[in-house]
């Protein structure tokens, strides 16, 4: 059977029909009054979602572009940064920081384990000369399904006083509580194809007043990703460059849906989906890659035990038209990942678990 | 009457229903075999459109992001570049180049006039030490409706031998002949919301072998816009970062439509639309901003004569639901611009001219 795909990967995530149809509207001029009104409404929705009064910049970029903007706008060549690295994305931010000539010190953990906040505390407390300009943390590590303890790491950053906290919230925002103002998160980057429930193409960066002060002194070169230009345009409900107009239509509709559900309900749903997935996988006799207490609420990584992960994925796809994600880099073939982020219901999890049970039975027979 | 907007601006341009519906499809995984196949097909279509065998990189970025990639990937801090500046976009590339620490020499012309290729020849011939590393030219200057003589300027660049030619083809590709291989254009940047007939959100950069050689030595920092990563991914029909999957669906459909029409027919249609517009506007007694011989085939800038340009635009919008573009920067209120780029037919031009006639009559009464 064709075209009955069920997308259970950590991004792109499933998109509601309401959002797809909003996106299919004919574009309008991005300098029109009508579009300004939409931007104004969308901006209010983004602040609600981020639980912040901070400026939020909307970029035409992937999550990586948003993270790049979140890093290069606030730092200068040679600046020391602490980068948490316990998966593909933490590793990417270390590479990106080095590409821009930053002095990177990594705090690592084995893939599948959470970063230890104590290691951040030690490094930050030892930095008497306040050389550390930023701490870069991946909140939800998509490659392993691990949620890092951002709240505790951030407390140590606050105790340091000087360093900015720069957060990859790409697969946490809209799934897990990320109270930007309450925690005082300086830079929070996210992407549209995740908890937002819209297709890829938009990146978001929320920026605190402290970060804007750092921006004034930061000398890394930038133009397309110069967030100062976005801030200036925001003040006029505009954008510095042509925005992806149709994705903004989609964003408006998705934010409306999120408001209808309510933030607390969204977080509770993701928690329930995660528990259901983990219990169901355990009941099928497959080990989980991350410990219960480190589990990301967006994705569950599963060790296929006696089977090959890619064979399980191929069978799930071929027989049931369910797309799961594979392992990345050295985990390819060793884990598979079930996405339960964004527009996903309990029914979807039961469906995936039922199909997985059938798949395992078939592969074992 | 609501929702009967006619979009006659130089971008976003009108999007065919076929393309909107293709875009409204549910997203699929960007690492799936199905998506790889789509990318392969799209890449062949892009090469056809660019008339090139060069590598083409698909970015999640606006046209400005594509131009930034086209500049920073091939140059190092302090490199000398010649930048043609006869409008808002030429001016932007000069600013962008300076933001990245390039040594910018501008060749200017009054807004509304074409760049003089002779000035490029003189500068390039005088550069015996081959210090000029790149010549940056806006082919079609959207802010003024002027087409620069890229073919001749490029001949002088070729005679220089060392410098790369970097072209902003954002509103020329898909409207005017841009034979990348025949002319030997090194870097050609474009954006989706123009001749491509799809919504904004994708940028394209076509890169010659000579430019890739320069890439190896270029030291400007880059990560998200590092075209080497896109080249590597292209070889596997993939992308380095999550691509805007739904816009790629749209691109596939739009390229199919362009192939059905044929390149020669597309260019001839844009020429006809331009002539119709210019003759019609002249017949209404309004002066044109660019000379006939410099006319861009994507947009016509009109001097409103005794009227205020913004009043004409507001009336056209209010009474006929036709969106025209205004003047930018110091031309605001002094010109208005009629877009005739992409999915525009002769009927559309007659419609706009009829509405403009009524508008002028109303404003004169």
Residues 6+ apart with CB under 8 A from B330: B111
Assign B201 to helix, strand or coil.
Answer: coil
Contact with chain B for residue A189, Cβ under 8 A: no
Give the closest-approach CA distance of A357 to chain B in angstroms. Answer: 23
ipTM of the complex: 0.97
% of chain A with per-residue pLDDT over 90: 98
- Identity of the residue in B12, B31, B68 whose CB atom sits nearest the CB atom of A223: B68
Using pLDDT thresholds of 50, 70 and 90, give the confidence band for residue B247.
very high
Using pLDDT thresholds of 50, 70 and 90, give the confidence band for residue A77.
very high
Using pLDDT thresholds of 50, 70 and 90, give the confidence band for residue B33.
very high
Question: What are the backbone dihedrals phi and psi of residue B322, each rounded to the nearest 5 degrees, phi first?
Answer: -110, 125
- Chain B interface, mutation test: which of A3, A6, A13, A60, most B Cβ atoms within 10 Å? A60
Using pLDDT thresholds of 50, 70 and 90, give the confidence band for residue A39.
very high
- Provide the mean pLDDT of chain B: 97
B contacts of A61 (beta carbons < 8 Å) = 60-61, 65, 224
Report B:61-120 residues touching A (Cβ under 8 A). Answer: 61-65, 68, 95-96, 99-101
Give the closest-approach CA distance of B93 to chain A in angstroms. Answer: 10
pLDDT digits (tens, 9 = 90+) for A112-133: 999 999 999 999 999 999 999 9
Task: Return contacts of B308-314, CB within 8 angstroms, 24+ apart.
Answer: B308/B333, B309/B333, B309/B334, B309/B335, B309/B336, B310/B336, B311/B363, B312/B336, B312/B356, B312/B359, B312/B360, B312/B363
Contact with chain A for residue B342, Cβ under 8 A: no
- What is the predicted pLDDT for the residue at A90? 98
pLDDT digits (tens, 9 = 90+) for B47-97: 999 999 999 999 999 999 999 999 999 999 999 999 999 999 999 999 999
pLDDT digits (tens, 9 = 90+) for B141-153: 999 999 999 999 9
Residues 6+ apart with CB under 8 A from A261: A269
CATH 3.90.1150.10 holds for B6-12+263-364: yes
Structure token pair of residue B312: 């004409």
Is the pTM here over 0.90, yes or no? yes
Closest chain B residue by Cα to residue A23: B24
Structure token pair of residue B259: 């192939």
Q: Kindly determine whether residue B24 and residue A24, on different chains, have CB atoms separated by under 8 Å.
A: yes
pLDDT digits (tens, 9 = 90+) for A252-262: 999 999 999 99
Contact with chain A for residue B354, Cβ under 8 A: no
Average pLDDT over residues B244-250: 98
Size of interface A-B (CB pairs under 8 A): 171
Question: What are the backbone dihedrals phi and psi of residue B52, each rounded to the nearest 5 degrees, phi first?
Answer: -145, 160
Q: Residue B365: pLDDT above 90?
A: no
- What is the predicted pLDDT for the residue at B3? 75
Average pLDDT over residues A295-323: 96
- Identity of the residue in B11, B21, B26 whose CB atom sits nearest the CB atom of A5: B26
Biggest CA–CA distance in chain B, Å, is 64
Task: Count CB atoms within 10 A of the CB of residue A131.
Answer: 12
Handedness of CA A256, A258, A261, A262 (dihedral sign): negative
Give the closest-approach CA distance of A211 to chain B in angstroms. Answer: 20
B contacts of A339 (beta carbons < 8 Å) = none
Q: Residue A76: pLDDT above 90?
A: yes
Could you please state the CATH topology (level 3) that the domain comprising A6-12+262-364 is classified under: 3.90.1150
- Identity of the residue in B11, B65, B242 whose CB atom sits nearest the CB atom of A60: B65
- Identity of the residue in A9, A29, A60 whose CB atom sits nearest the CB atom of B61: A60
Angle at A320 (CA atoms; ends A359, A6), nearest 5 degrees: 125
- Chain A interface, mutation test: which of B2, B5, B62, B77, most A Cβ atoms within 10 Å? B62
Q: How far apart are CA A189 and CA A65, in angstroms?
A: 9
- Provide the mean pLDDT of chain A: 97
Q: How far apart are CA A153 and CA A115, in angstroms?
A: 9
% of chain A with per-residue pLDDT over 70: 99
The CATH number of the domain covering residues in A17-259: 3.40.640.10
Contact with chain A for residue B325, Cβ under 8 A: yes
Question: What are the backbone dihedrals phi and psi of residue B152, each rounded to the nearest 5 degrees, phi first?
Answer: -70, -45
Give the closest-approach CA distance of B99 to chain A in angstroms. Answer: 6
Contact with chain A for residue B142, Cβ under 8 A: no
Q: Kindly determine whether residue B60 and residue A61, on different chains, have CB atoms separated by under 8 Å.
A: yes
Query: If you ran DSSP here, which 8-state letter would residue B14 be given?
Result: P
Contact with chain B for residue A222, Cβ under 8 A: yes
Average pLDDT over residues A126-141: 98
Average pLDDT over residues B285-298: 96
Using pLDDT thresholds of 50, 70 and 90, give the confidence band for residue A3.
confident
pLDDT digits (tens, 9 = 90+) for B149-172: 999 999 999 999 999 999 999 999
Contact with chain B for residue A219, Cβ under 8 A: no
Domain ranges of chain A: 6-12+262-364, 17-259
CA distances from B317 to B8, B278, B326, B344 (A): 11, 20, 12, 18
pLDDT digits (tens, 9 = 90+) for A93-107: 999 999 999 999 999
Q: Residue B1: pLDDT above 70?
A: no
The answer to whether the CB of A99 falls within 8 A of the CB of B221 is: yes
Q: How far apart are CA A202 and CA B242, in angstroms?
A: 11
Q: Which of B246, B171, B199 is nearest to A244 (CA)?
A: B199
Q: Which of B107, B54, B119, B117 is nearest to B80 (CA)?
A: B107
Peptide bond into A17 cis (omega under 30): no
Q: How far apart are CA A213 and CA A208, in angstroms?
A: 9
Structure token pair of residue A133: 């300009």
Burial of B363 per CB tally in 10 Å (0-12, 13-18, 19+)? middle
Q: Kindly determine whether residue A7 and residue B25, on different chains, have CB atoms separated by under 8 Å.
A: no
Burial of B236 per CB tally in 10 Å (0-12, 13-18, 19+)? exposed
Assign A50 to helix, strand or coil.
Answer: helix
Using pLDDT thresholds of 50, 70 and 90, give the confidence band for residue A1.
low
Q: Which of B76, B65, B333 is nearest to B202 (CA)?
A: B65
Q: Residue B276: pLDDT above 80?
A: yes
């Amino acid at each position: 059977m064709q075209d009955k795909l069920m997308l259970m990967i950590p991004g792109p995530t499933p998109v509601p029909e309401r959002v797809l149809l909003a996106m299919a509207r004919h574009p309008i001029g991005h300098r029109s009054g009508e579009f300004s009104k939409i931007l104004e409404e969308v901006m209010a929705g983004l602040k609600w979602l981020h639980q912040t009064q901070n400026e939020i910049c909307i970029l035409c970029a992937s999550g990586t572009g948003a993270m790049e903007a979140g890093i290069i706008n606030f730092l200068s060549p040679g600046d020391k940064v602490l980068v948490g690295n316990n998966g593909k994305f933490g590793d990417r931010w270390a590479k990106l920081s080095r590409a821009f000539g930053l002095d990177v010190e990594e705090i690592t953990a084995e893939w599948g384990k959470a970063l230890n906040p104590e290691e951040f505390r030690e490094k930050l407390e030892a930095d008497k000369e306040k050389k550390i300009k930023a701490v870069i943390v991946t909140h939800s590590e998509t490659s392993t399904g691990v949620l890092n303890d951002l709240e505790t790491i951030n407390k140590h950053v606050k105790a340091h006083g000087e360093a900015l906290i720069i957060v990859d919230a790409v697969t946490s925002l809209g799934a897990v509580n990320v109270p930007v103002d309450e925690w005082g998160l300086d830079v929070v980057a996210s992407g549209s194809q995740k908890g937002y429930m819209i297709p890829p193409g938009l990146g978001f960066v929320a920026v605190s007043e402290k970060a804007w002060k750092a921006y004034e002194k930061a000398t890394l070169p930038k133009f397309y990703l110069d967030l100062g230009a976005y801030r200036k345009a925001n003040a006029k409900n505009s954008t510095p460059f042509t925005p992806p107009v149709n994705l903004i239509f989609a964003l408006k509709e998705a934010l409306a849906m999120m408001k209808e559900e309510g933030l607390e309900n969204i977080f509770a749903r993701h928690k329930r989906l995660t528990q259901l997935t983990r219990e169901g996988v355990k009941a099928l006799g497959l080990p989980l890659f991350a410990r219960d207490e480190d589990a990301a609420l967006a994705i569950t990584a599963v060790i296929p035990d006696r089977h090959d992960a890619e064979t399980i994925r191929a069978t799930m796809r071929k027989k049931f038209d369910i797309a799961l994600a594979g392992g990345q880099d050295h985990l390819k073939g060793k884990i598979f990942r079930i996405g339960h982020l964004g527009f996903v219901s309990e029914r979807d999890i039961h469906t995936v678990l039922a199909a997985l049970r059938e798949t395992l039975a078939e592969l074992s027979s």
